[in-house]
Amino acid sequence: MSASASTALAAHRVPSSHPTGRVTYVTPHHVAPRIHQIIPAVRGTITEYSLPTVSAFPRSITAGSDGNVWFVENGAVQIGKITPDGTITEYPANLNTDDSTITNGPDGNLWFTAGSTSYIGKITTSGVVTTYPLPMNDGLTHQGGIAAGSDGNLWFTMSGDYFDCIGRITPSGTVTEYQLPTSTGPSGIAAGPKGTMWFTESSKIGSIAVNSGVITEYPLPNPNSYPYSITRGAKGTMWFTEPQANKIGVISSTTGSIKEYSIPTPSSYPYGIARGADGKYWFTESSKIGVINAKGKITEYPLPPSSNGPSGITAGPLNDLWFTVGDNVASITTS
Amino acid making up residue 91: Y
pLDDT reported for residue 14? 35
CA distances from 334 to 43, 60, 86, 236 (A): 5, 20, 18, 23
> Considering the domain 42-333, what is its CATH architecture?
7 Propeller (2.130)
Which of 26-30, 37-41, 111-115, 121-125 has the highest mean predicted lDDT (pLDDT)?
Answer: 121-125
Q: How far apart are CA 79 and CA 201, in angstroms?
A: 26
The 247-252 sheet, strands edge to edge: 230-232, 237-242, 247-252, 258-262
Residues in the chain: 335
Q: How far apart are CA 190 and CA 156, in angstroms?
A: 9
The 119-123 sheet, strands edge to edge: 102-104, 110-113, 119-123, 129-133
Average pLDDT score over the chain: 85
User: What's the predicted TM-score (pTM) here?
Assistant: 0.87
| Extents of the domains making up the chain | 42-333
Instruction: Please determine, for residue 1, whether its predicted confidence score (pLDDT) is greater than 60.
Output: no
Give yes or no for a contact between 71 and 90, defined as CB atoms under 8 angstroms apart: no
Q: Of the candidates 65, 106, 42, 125, which has an alpha carbon nearest to the alpha carbon of residue 317? A: 65
Amino acid making up residue 47: T
Instruction: Please determine, for residue 4, whether its predicted confidence score (pLDDT) is greater than 50.
Output: no
Angle among Cα 335, 146, 108 to the nearest 5 degrees reads 70
